[in-house]
Amino acid sequence: MPVNVAHTVGAERPVRGGRRVAVTLHVGRERVPAELLVPTHSSPVPAALLLHGYTSSKEQMLGSIGRALLTRGIASLGVDLPLHGERESRLDEDSLRNPMVLARQWRAALAECRSALGFLAGHPELDAGRLAVVGYSLGAFLAVIVAAREPPVRAVALAAGGDLPTNTPFSTLIRAVADPARAARELAGRPLLMIHGRRDRTVTPEQAKRLYAAAKEPKTLLWYDGGHWLPDPMIDRAAEWLAEVL
């Protein structure tokens, strides 16, 4: 995990319980928009990298789990993944269905997440020994793979995440690029939290069960009676769990 990642700090403003800082990460030729929530607690504090879902953005993650973590003295960094948020692309739908295009964007996202963790590790107000990754939906698939490749990550929280669906076009190619179940096995006993809806039709309960089964202890799987969208009480549960393990 790199430290002293090239970045630019932008505007800063106070928020309840801390402050919100605009950050741009410089990853190769890419400029990755990010925002950092820092609590007013004595530093260094633990921190989490927040990875949003498909068609979402850093603002949605910061406004939900980020706020919940802030009240518990945990900093968080939200980033806009490739083709999302401030980086929304004009690629047409046919291009986005091209597995080679998707694989290229996936690799870019992994590199950017690695740099984002390096930024957190090198920040003077944050504790490099207490870092976590939090992912929702698409971000959950990404989070478990990032964590598996970055041993300094102490804990992983996944919402609406799971193993890849079975019997889909290009499944063999996709699993060669991204295999969540294999990544879960490679967490090597680091704490894992999974939160999932019993009626989720986007990432099915069966996918969640397969990923959970692949992971080693300590692990926790919490169910809620709903679909793909995470209810507020479960966001608070995730924040409480992270405060405990970090």
Q: Decide if 125 is inside a domain.
A: yes
Q: Decide if 1 is inside a domain.
A: no
Q: Decide if 87 is inside a domain.
A: yes
Task: Check residue 77 and give its pLDDT.
Answer: 98
Residue of 116, 99, 111 whose CA lies nearest to 34? 116
Query: What CATH number corresponds to the domain at position 172?
Result: 3.40.50.1820
Q: Decide if 2 is inside a domain.
A: no
Task: Check residue 171 and give its pLDDT.
Answer: 59
Q: Do residues 58 and 85 touch, judged by C-beta distance below 8 A?
A: yes
pLDDT in tens, the chain (246 residues): 776 789 999 999 999 999 999 999 999 999 999 999 999 988 899 999 999 999 999 999 999 999 999 999 999 999 999 988 898 875 555 555 666 777 788 899 999 999 999 999 999 999 999 999 999 999 999 999 999 999 999 999 999 999 998 866 555 656 667 899 999 999 988 999 999 999 999 999 999 999 999 999 999 999 999 999 999 999 999 999 999 999
Look at the chain and report how many structural domains it folds into.
Answer: 1
Q: Decide if 41 is inside a domain.
A: yes
Task: Check residue 145 and give its pLDDT.
Answer: 96
β-sheet bridge partners, residue 159: 136, 195
Residue of 233, 234, 229, 232 whose CA lies nearest to 55? 229
The model's pLDDT over 196-224, given as tens digits with 9 standing for 90+, comes to 999 999 999 999 999 999 999 999 999 99
Task: Check residue 104 and give its pLDDT.
Answer: 82
User: Given CA atoms 50, 52, 58, 59 in this order, what sign does their dihedral have?
Assistant: negative
Domain that residue 32 falls in: 7-245
Q: Decide if 23 is inside a domain.
A: yes
Q: Alpha-carbon distance 186 to 165, whole Å?
A: 20
pTM of the model: 0.94
Residue of 43, 61, 186, 36 whose CA lies nearest to 119? 36
Q: Decide if 152 is inside a domain.
A: yes
Q: Decide if 98 is inside a domain.
A: yes
